[in-house]
Structure 1
Amino acid sequence: MNKKADAIIIGAGVIGSSVAFELAKRGYKTLNIDKLPTSGYGSTSNSCAIVRAHYSTWDGVAMAYEGFFYWDDWANYLGVEDERGMIKYMKTGSIMFKLQGEDHSKKSLKLFEEIGVEHEIWDLEKLKERMPIYSHDQYDGTTRPDEDEHFFDKTGKKIEGAVFTPGSGYVSDPQLSSHNLQVAAEEKRRRIFVQQRNY
């Protein structure tokens, strides 16, 4: 049996496992090396598993938006059944606030337009209608509540609205998503994952 790998991938989280799967689909024999006993046990297992497209670079937005469609059709994308079950993609949409004075949404909106990311621009009235539980005030800078007595002080500025992306959401179990990818990669190239505890 040939024990040589075409590609060695450091890490077996959601990124390392998805790289292995995509390479295996193209006929490459891959080897993932991870210090933990199985896929997704590192930082992936502590992820919030939020799927969003609001990033600051063209590549980041494009790759994230492409991912919406893979997550939404996960079982067909992988083409396997995992004995541990398959993750579920909860398509809830996501909101990026438009802030007075420091509106970071402008850069993302420009990229959304270029790439074709489905989105809605909400003014403050629409935001209040759709999300009445939010405070529409802006608060002081980023600090820890126990370090700054002014943490909850309002700045006097208001949220101006929001950008809503309906295709965003979250993954039900980030660790399981890595395992699903591992199973799919192994199906393509059989035994490709080897984890080592000490390296």
Structure 2
Amino acid sequence: MTKSYDVIVVGAGSMGMSAGYELARRGMKTLLIDAFDPPHPHGSHHGEPRLIRHAYSGGEAYVRMALRADERWLELEKLTGEKLLERSGVLNMADPAVYSYEVRREAASSFGVQVEWLSGQEIHKRWPNLTLPDHYRGMYEPDAGFLYSEKCVAAYKRLALEAGADWLPHTFVTGIKPEQGSVKVETEGETFAAGHVILSAGAWFKTLEPFITLPIRTIRKVVGWFETADDSFHSDVFPGFTLGGQDGVYYGFPSIDGAGVKIGRHDTGPDWKPGEIPAPFGAYPEDENDLRRVLENFMPGAAGKLLRSAVCKYEHTPDDDFIIDFHPQHPNVLLVGGFSGHGFKFASVVGEISADLIEHRKSGQDLQLFAVSRFAD
């Protein structure tokens, strides 16, 4: 007999688990299905932490969502009693010939986001362990910081189950078949039905073709943790950071409990296909070389021994904006994906948005940027 639900969430990682909790909390009979058992190393949320910032370059919609996401993370902390968000501050640094912060300046001013604008010399004076060229510019957000991503996913999972959601891990979805007034979700062993389905498959969206074909490019990404020469990079005194210049765009984190400075490259990366085993860290010379070169040039005190490494995935849309919209042919199927390497910070509010769309078919957030119709041409 086919078991029925109000909502089935296919892909219960960062966004799906948050949505599953929100749906179950609102009293909807919810089933969460995932090919693995989040938190896990097969998607985009492992190898914590993740940056959270509020002065965003994507426009007002992103700033509103970032501020609301921050509120929801604090609510999650209260519900769980766990420390999930650290306000280390985030220092954004860039060569102005490559990247300008003017759009973010306007957004920050409009929403009252506290931001400090710094020259290269001012950055070095405040953080002497940074060796930026004088012509670089900085944007420092003192209220920004980082999230413990795996703890966040685990917290949402626990709350979703406590709220009554059913949980089906290690289960691949083999088919999605809309019918009159409902959607059937087929797995290798069972078939389930629901009035609504949320597809939040992350790096695995291509496994849902041809039911939905989205222009999402999935790429392999690497990060490394490097030994520091002293305590000046510790999370008590050093912020999270981004760095953009002629050599690419990078992001990173202070040393948390002596784990070393974590750094990753935001741009570039080889394609990855679902089902493939990603090449391990070090399979390409640039895996470590790119990261080490940036550390040696800009923060040499953090260019010590490689202590740890990880491989994860980005799911890029052509414009790097998200997809949060209903299926073009099936209005009871919600598409949530394409978070393009900058989405985790929004997981808390994306769960709320998803539940609002399922329950009310509208959201208090401006979702025009995320419409799937923008790919029609």
Structure-1 separation of matches of 2:107 and 2:10 = 31
Taking the TM superposition and a 5 Å limit, the aligned residue runs for 1:13-162 are 13-36=13-36, 38-41=37-40, 42-57=43-58, 58-72=60-74, 74-76=76-78, 79-80=79-80, 86-137=82-133, 158-159=135-136, 161-162=137-138
Residue number in structure 1 paired with 2:151: 176
Q: Secondary structure at the match of 1:136?
A: coil
- Which structure: greater strand fraction? 2
Residue number in structure 2 paired with 1:151: none
Residue number in structure 1 paired with 2:361: none
Q: Which has the higher contact order (CA 8 A, sep 6+)?
A: 1
Identity of aligned residues (%): 22
Deviations 1:87-134 (A, max 9, x none): 432210101125322333111221222222222222334322222222
Deviations 1:168-189 (A, max 9, x none): 11123x222111001112222x
Q: 1:102 to 1:129 in 2, by over 3 A?
A: same
Structure-2 separation of matches of 1:158 and 1:93 = 22
Residue number in structure 2 paired with 1:150: none
- 1:193 equivalent in alignment to 2:144: no
Once the 2 structures are TM-superposed, how far is the Cα of residue 80 of structure 1 from its aligned partner? 4.1
Structure-1 separation of matches of 2:117 and 2:93 = 10
Deviations 1:46-100 (A, max 9, x none): 4542222343322222212222233345321xx246xxxx343221010112532
Q: Secondary structure at the match of 1:4?
A: strand
Could you tell me which runs of 5 or more consecutive residues in structure 2 were left unpaired when the two chains were aligned.
174-377
Q: Secondary structure at the match of 1:43?
A: coil
Q: Secondary structure at the match of 1:44?
A: coil
Structure-2 separation of matches of 1:198 and 1:125 = 53
Q: Secondary structure at the match of 1:193?
A: strand
- Which structure: greater helix fraction? 1
Contact 2:20 2:165 (C-alpha < 8 Å) held by counterparts: no
Coordinate RMSD, CA, aligned: 2.5
Could you tell me which runs of 5 or more consecutive residues in structure 1 were left unpaired when the two chains were aligned.
138-156
Deviations 1:150-182 (A, max 9, x none): xxxxxxx820x311111211123x222111001
Q: 1:21 to 1:178 in 2, by over 3 A?
A: same
Residue number in structure 1 paired with 2:140: 164
Q: Which one-letter code corresponds to 1:186 in the other structure?
A: L
Q: Which one-letter code corresponds to 2:61 in the other structure?
A: D
Structure-2 separation of matches of 1:121 and 1:131 = 14
Deviations 1:3-36 (A, max 9, x none): 5322222211121111112223333222222100
Aligned residues: 169
Q: Which one-letter code corresponds to 2:110 in the other structure?
A: E
Contact 1:186 1:192 (C-alpha < 8 Å) held by counterparts: yes
